[in-house]
Amino acid sequence: MAEYNLEKQHAKGKLHAIERINALCDKDSFMEIYADARHQCTNFGMEKKEIPYDGVITGFGTINGKKVAVYAQDFTVQGGSLGKVHGQKIAELIAKAIEIKCPVIGVNDSGGARIQEGVDALCGYGDIFYQNVRASGVIPQISIVAGPCAGGAVYSPGLTDFIFTVDQISHMYITGPKVVKQVMFMDISDEDLGGAAIHSQKSGVAHYRCNDEKECYEKVRKLLDYIPHFYGDSQTAEGKIKFDARHKAKHINTILPEISTKGYDIHEVINDVTDDDSFFEVMAEFAQNAVVGFAKIEGKTVGIVANNPGYLGGVLNCDASDKIARHVRFCDCYNIPLLNFVDVPGFIPGPQEEQKGIIRHGAKVLYAYSEASVPKVTIITRKAYGGAYIAMCSKHLGADFVYAWPKAEIAVMGAEGAIGILYAKEADPAVKAQKGQEYRETFMTPTIAAQRDYISAVIQPEETRARIVQSLTLLENKTGSDKVCRKHGNIPL
């Protein structure tokens, strides 16, 4: 049993690597491996210094009774810096996890590459990156950033499926504040350059931001209750299913505003059709015009994708497109059915998004849904306009069932925009208003789409849960295209 310097880490206000592992794993379940692997370090001609367990603790345990592979870098040993042996330990752990089919959880707390090892340290990073890619789409990979991550150290988390950060502890950047100051003459703090809030709200690198380490480990354990532990892992409903059908059926009819241009919170719709208190959102602070996450329907996991009219009207922009595409591809990798809620006025117009590449980012959504062979059920709650209607898992992109609420509007664009183009020369407002009403009745009603076989059925809001359950039951044994090579849900295109 190795000796750990807990006091040194506690002085920084952080848990020690072994304490982090124990907080993640079920009690007394962790089995350490490669504890005796270490590098004899020579510091530029100075005395040789042995590095205990080479600064990283690796092994296997269980979470909620299921096996997991875990590693945690120890900042009290050489600043958690990564050398060749350190990298080999992590890479071999991932390789073994692929072999025995279990998720990998990495706790990152490192000063970066071990400079005194030179190119050998870079070899260690390369070995890890290679195994990260091998594991992609085969076993879930979860990264916890519990300290600094700089340079090459950020790319392993970047290759994994989920990144958890902790306020005031997590820092991720390609180049740190000192280098930024030297090269760009800018004074910036660790927090402002790559803190938890930055990556949760602005960059979209982080999937979860937690107040403290305890909350972080609890959320990781919760996530593992929702996702399969390997490709091919079957989902089974466990425990008693809770769903307040009476209350939710009554509430769902009150959600849509009378005025079609007014926003509302799509979370209310999601919560009214999924099992009670089961929605577990992913990337909640980033691109809030799109909502993604996991929920339970009759005790089984579904992947949720939704437009949120309560934020930017629910439009699709570059960030929302990336967020949706990534989540769709993860769900497709692990055979998680997709449940989509559509209320989208279109892709966002304007030079800012065009210059950021909305065409390229929006194409990721089209690609992800078209590629996905898992069960796909879509609910159009209100607006579904133009290319965004197609992109949000329409029948045209392979949705198995598409349902629309009676107030749904499915068209190339809204009535005002259409009349503005079709009757641009008409000066009489009354005529335009009349034509607008005719356009709504002729082109925009869900009945028109249903008659053309683009909609499976027009349903009342209170019927939504029942339709979803019936549809997913019918699709349980759906067979999609034969995927010889599993595609990764993390970095599409």
* Distance from C-alpha of 490 to C-alpha of 132, rounded to nearest angstrom: 11
In the set 387, 398, 417, 480, the catalytic residue is 387
Structural tokens at position 35: 């504890």
Distances (CA, A) of 58 to 20, 72, 96, 130, 350: 12, 7, 11, 18, 50
C-alpha 271/C-alpha 297 separation (Å) is: 11
In the DSSP assignment, the letter for residue 461 is: G
Catalytic residue among 37, 79, 95, 151: 151
Q: How many C-beta atoms lie closer than 10 Å to residue 404's C-beta? A: 26
Q: Please report, to the nearest 10 degrees, the dihedral formed by the alpha carbons of residues 44, 49, 50, 52 taken in order.
A: -100
3-state secondary structure 93-128: HHHHHHHHCCCEEEEECCCCECHHHCHHHHHHHHHH
Active site residue 137: no
Q: Decide: 77 and 113 in contact? Cβ < 8 Å.
A: no
Amino acid at 203: S
Please state, as a whole number, how many other Cβ atoms lie within 10 Å of the Cβ of residue 82: 30
247-277 in b/e burial notation, b at 16+ Cβ within 10 A?
ebbebbeebbeeebeeebebbebbbbbbbee
Pairwise CA distance, residues 191 & 176, whole Å:
11
Is 388 labeled as catalytic in the residue annotation? yes
Out of 146, 388, 391, 408, the active site residue is 388
Active site residue 287: no
Catalytic residue among 83, 106, 152, 314: 152
Helix, strand or coil for residue 164?
Answer: strand
CA pair distance 181, 274, nearest whole angstrom: 49
Distance CA 172, CA 164 (A): 11
**Known catalytic residues?**
151-152, 387-388
